[in-house]
Amino acid sequence: MTHHYEHWTRRAFLSTAVAGPLATTRLRGQRQPEFTFTQYHNQTADSTLQRRLVEMWTAVRDESGGRIETRIFPENNKHPGSDPAVLQMLVSGEVQFFTLMGGILGNVVPVLNVQQVPFAFRTAEAAHRAMDGALGAYLRQEMAAKGIVGFAVGAFDNGIRQIGGRTRPVRTPADLVGLRMRVPDGRMFDDMFRALGAEPVTVNSSGIYAALKSGTVDAQENPLAYMLSFRHYEVMKYISLTNHMWSGFNLIANQAAWRRLPADLQSLIERHAARAVRLQRQDQERANAEARTQLASRGLAFNDVDEAPFRAKLAGVYGSWKQILGAKCWGLLEAEVGRLG
C-alpha cells in the first residue's frame, strides 16, 4: 500500500504549484504532526478532485507549520465496499475526511438526497449557488445531527449527469423501458429510473466498467468527465445528453475528529477548503466540456434529448420526495430552482 501511495502522491505532488525545493526545505524545520488524518475520495489519481485536495492539504500542512498531516487516497484506496463502506468508516472515525455525493450520503442523512432531485439544477453553477446558500446551510445542520461536519463552501463538483449505454441510444422515455440501468446506492436514482420504465441495478462506482463489459447492465448515467477518466468509452457506444441530474462531492469530516482541532486550525482548513472547492468547480466544468470532444473522438455517438417528456413522467417522484425531504427542505430547493412537479 505504501509503495502505491508514494507513487501517486509523487505524481500528484509534481502537478501542484507548492511542490519543489521550497516546500521540501520548509518541511525539514517542521515538527511532528499533532493531527494525522486520512482523506478518501472516489475519483482517479489524475482527477481535478485529487489535484485540488492535494493542494489544499499541502497548504494546510505548510501554513500550520506541520501541525496537520493528511494522507489522500483516490479511488477510496480501492476499498471493495466503495462509497457506502467508506461513509461508515467516516461515521465511525476510522476515516476523518471524505468527499461524497448527496444521494449516497442521503442513506445516513436523508435530506442530502435533495442534491439528486432530477431536473432540479439546470447547470452545475446553479447547484453551487444553492449549496453555498441557505439550502446548503440547512443540509449542514442536518449532517451535524448525525455526527458529520459539512463545510460552508464544501461542495466540489462532479457535474451534470448524462446517460451512456452499450445497446441503444436513449432519445425518449420509451427507450428506457426495460433497460438495465446501473445506479449508485441511492434511493432517488432508483425511484427516478423506475418511474421512467428502466430496471435499476445498484453497482458501486468502482464496478461500472465490469458491469457494462459483462452485460450485467445495459447503461449507466454519470457526468462525461467521469465516463472518460474511468475509460467507460471502451464498453459503451452511445451517450444521450439528458442533463437529468447534478452531482457533486460534499467534503465531510468526522465530527469527533473535527472537534478535537483548535479553532485556528479549523478556520485554516475551512479557508483552504473553500479555495480548493472554487478552483475545482472551474476545473471540472472544463473537464466535462473537453470530455465530450474526447468521447466523440473515440467513436461514441452523441444525441441531444428533449427533457420535457422525461420530466412529465416524474410527477409521482416529485410528490413522494417532497414528503420524504420535508416542507422546509423542499421549500429551500424550490426557492433556488423554481417550482418542481
Other CB atoms within 10 Å distance of the CB of residue 34:
15
β strands within the chain, DSSP E: 35-40, 68-73, 97-100, 148-149, 155-165, 180-183, 199-202, 219-222, 238-254, 301-304
Strand partners of residue 201 = 182
pTM to 2 decimals?
0.89
Question: CA-CA-CA-CA torsion for 109, 47, 7, 40, nearest 10 degrees?
Answer: 0
Range of the domain at 224: 2-337
Cβ–Cβ under 8 Å, residues 169 and 242? no
63 burial via Cβ count (<10 Å: 0-12, 13-18, 19+):
middle
Structure-block grid coordinates of residue 191: 425511484
Separation CA 184–CA 176 (nearest Å): 17
Per-residue pLDDT tens, the chain, 341 aa: give them: 444 433 343 334 333 333 333 333 345 555 799 999 999 999 999 999 999 999 999 999 999 999 999 999 999 999 999 999 999 999 999 999 999 999 999 999 999 999 999 999 999 999 999 999 999 999 999 999 999 999 999 999 999 999 999 999 999 999 999 999 999 988 999 999 999 999 999 998 889 999 999 999 999 999 999 999 999 999 999 999 999 999 999 999 999 999 999 999 999 999 999 999 999 999 999 999 999 999 999 999 999 999 999 999 999 999 999 999 999 999 999 999 999 98
The CATH number for 266's domain is: 3.40.190.170
Cell digits for 76?
477510496
CA 21 from chain centre, in angstroms, equals 33
**Number of domain units in the chain:** 1
